[in-house]
A and B are shown apart, each in its own frame.
Chain A
């Protein structure tokens, strides 16, 4: 089966610019997650969707980050405006069940802020 697809793989922008990441989960997976992984740290959950609804976004910096999953399939994570501390790998994951720790992750988007 096809895995979790993410694009782009790499992105370099200047601070205060905007950027968007795209994720397509495994077919049939209702739950989708976005994680932020800063260099040298473990991933941190930003937001979790169940179909097109938000389950938890308590760690999402809502003043600059937004995410949507309008049709309950693919998802977009946006940062506007970007700060230097947003440099990280952004990982998308999906799972069949809402309560499970995700099993399937994409390869991530590495974001560098200049």
Chain B
């Protein structure tokens, strides 16, 4: 069975400082992993995805994530936070080829302080 854990429900950073949002997963297979961002009262936007190619994945808006099999982690990072990054972030693990095999994490709310 697969599972996903987002280790922090809330993260606060100052504008211009690095962002780290942590995600651990459990899977019996080689999973695909995704990060989504959701701004208030908006739908989700796909930031990046890992599908067994390069372990360091670059996404939109300067975000990237590194797949570490030994640590079963897929943490999301950004070198310098911007005010517009304030949002909810979801980590998703998928063992199959379709969304019906996917599980969303419970989300991490990122706050960016001026």
Contact = CB atoms under 8 A, between A and B. Distances in A.
Interface of A: 4, 33, 40-45, 48, 55-56, 58-59, 91, 93, 98-99, 101-108, 110
A45 B107 contact: no
Contacts of A43: 44, 90, 104
Contact of B99 (A41, A102, A108): A102
Contacts of A55: 98, 100
Question: Chain A binding site: helix, strand, loop or mixed by DSSP?
Answer: loop
A33 B106 CA distance: 20
B70 interface: no
A18 B106 CA distance: 29
Given A44-B104, A102-B46, 14 more contacts: A4-B43, A41-B104, A42-B90, A42-B92, A42-B104, A43-B104, A45-B99, A48-B98, A56-B98, A101-B99, A104-B43, A105-B44, A107-B43, A108-B41
